[in-house]
Chains A and B, each alone.
Chain A
Amino acid sequence: MSEQRLLLSGNEAVALAARDAGVRLGTGYPGTPSTEILEEFDALGGHAQWAPNEKVALEVGIGVSWGGGRTLVTMKHVGVNVAADPLFTLAYTGVAAGLVIVSADDPGMASSQNEQDNRRYAVASGVPMLEPSDSQEAYDFALQAFTLSEMFSLPILFRMTTRVCHSKTVVKRKEPTAAPPSRAYQRDIPGRVMIPAYARPAHRRLREKLHKVYDWTESCGLNYEILNDLSLGIITSGVTYMHAREAAPDASFLKLGATYPIPVEKMRVFASKVKRCLVIEEGDPYLEEAARAAGIPVEGKSEAFRFGELNVSRVRRILAGENTEPAPETAGGVPPRLCPTCPHRLVFMALGRLGCVVAGDIGCYTLGVLPPFEAMDSCVCMGASIGVGLGLRHAMPDAEAKRVVSVIGDSTFIHSGITGIVEMVYNPPKTGHVVIILDNGTTAMTGLQEHPGTGRALDHQPANQVIIEEICRAIGVTDVHVVDPVASGVEEFESLVRKCLDNQKLTVIVARRPCALLERKLKALNAASQTVCSGT
């Protein structure tokens, strides 16, 4: 096969690499900007599935790896918080077949609640990290990541950012090699059963492995110098490299693709060759701090540039040593809003009229905070609505506590709302509590992905369905209502919520009505499958 030239997003490039690397299973939870990786992997014929959350996804991935198959686990940056528990111990146990974890970070928070810099996770967990800067590198690095993972018997943290995930750039595809042979399952009790007696030596083994990985990052081709004008040297990684090449076309560069363990000696040698050495990186001063700690004389960026995405203009300002910025253009921009026919609208209208204190959650419905509704008091992380709502009820005076409701979406409920319901039943506030589950039958925010409650798998084919109201009843909630807010209308829905608030029981209201966009998508999918059927 001759070399193929393609125009791919970073996400599509990772999916293609996963196919070319013979990945047995791809798993993850939808989250912008990572979502398209598994969808594309499925479209390319790979076996991909949505897990209920990132922790479960990584745990399944660990099993696949130990069971002998290469595995790709994808999530957005905050998903790694959820998956952090298995991650840290996986670093001790190591992998069998290659395991690559994509962390898709969102500097600038295009669609996220924070802009945490997950390069810190590589350090904290002791997991080697690769950072592609465009789709070609996303493809090349992802292919290499599986080999590296097997070479060091460690998972690889594949750290992407919004602009790498969603930008389309030209990719030259390598001739696919034969899929790696399956590895037979091998029992390894001291290596994988992390009781303290086995975990203590496992930690030492991890540190020894990381010494070897460090030797590799110091010498590998992913970290390289471009020597031009030696009056200015720039150390950089990820998409920032692209901005910096453009902002300073004549400068010398140390371009880092393997960024944990940090190749400190490589930075030292590079810094010694240039007159002025700058570290330019998006987000936290991760490379800069490592350079300074090693006594390497580098300049960093001013604190003003720690926030948001970098781009060519901002890199020019960093190079000029500026420490303030002009305010961004905002006049005339139209913010996102709930769709005109969104069923959530009625719910927020009712909650607004009732003057409820609303502990909110993550999804389209977070837009209920914006005018004309302004019916949300908090949004922290996936599933937090229930715990925060319960806490408010515990602390506030009874008269006010009685107005507190938790609002959570169906996918978010499956992701991490179930344990919140357990907490509610186990530690009920004395005024009771009301949880409203906005069930629109899809993971709408990220682009209408399936989840265990929809009755369809990632590829939209029928699957076992988890019934939300049955879960709530099984946990011990006795007052469970299932209503269609559109069919019942805002008045009736409002009176139901009022009644439940007055009852002071533990209540779950499932407000069930399919997302307005979902119907169109399902119709298109049906039409597509019928075309396929009639065509064969």
Chain B
Amino acid sequence: MISLKDVERVYKTSNATVHALKGITLNVKQGEIFGIIGRSGAGKSTLIRCINLLERPTRGSVIVDHCNLTTINKEALRHARRNIGMIFQHFNLLNSRTVYQNVALPLELMGLSKKEISSTVHPLLELTGLTEKANEYPYHLSGGQKQRVAIARALVNKPKILLCDEATSSLDPKTTHSILQLLRDINEKLNLTIVLITHEMEVIKSICTEVAVLHQGEIVEQGSVLALFADPKSDIAKEFVKAATRLEMPIALRRRMRPQPTSTTHPVLRISFMGQSAQEPFIAYVIQHYELTVNIIQAHLETIRDEAIGIMIVEVMGSADNIQNAIAFLESKGLHIEVLGHAPRST
């Protein structure tokens, strides 16, 4: 549905050249909720603006719904943009227009009749729960209501794609939840492809199916959200997951840990399991079978879109060979094991 190839964006100021995006390639399939996560300054906003060409890439191509947006003329681009709705962190509603008039704006621009406009706008106000607010001005609405208006406006052209630029970043947690729920609903009801950018793992884990991690203008990791939680590979992804799961080793243990094993240490592992592997008592099995003592330091059960994923940090005591075999066994059962370090025996 969306395909970016080698997209670069360079800003030239009088005394510096900034490479905001350094060769981004990604594909978003029809019906996905694709999340792009990154810290501020990673290039997220630039990236999402390259999809509808609010920012023109310096190099590379942007193909949306089989149309290469980077090569078509302005008129065709305006036409293509009607196929791509967009919502923003600060809602960007017109203060001089009522809720109804804001939602009607895109249709007005196309020159539709009042009757046609009304028959499209009202069902959308209903979908977004704004029917009673139709004649209010945005000034009188709460943040969540404003974002609903923006969503209705973005959907009024019946687009196939919705771009969300930090859409929940200025909302409180409860409102964030309701907006995310609404996005998920429209994704399912309208079979809409959604691309969102955020700096919050919460957003990714509650609605996204796919995720890309953006760091300093490059995609450092990409895959399903479950895989990212179970087995983050890049440092930045590990940080995001750690922050989201609040799994942090106790400082006292971290201070004692060494990178290399010695005869008096035992390993500290991060074990994550999901789906089928969460159903069976593998840990209990290895304790018995390999004669190990397992000390659970922390554990966390996470729900990602409706699937459970467990993450544990454990100290494992036993003979070195048995520990190796146990790790191999667990990995063969689909659990992800990462050796975090080696702690000396506490006295």
Q: Do A and B bind each other?
A: no
* Chain A residues proximal to chain B, CB less than 8 Å: none
* Chain B residues proximal to chain A, CB less than 8 Å: none
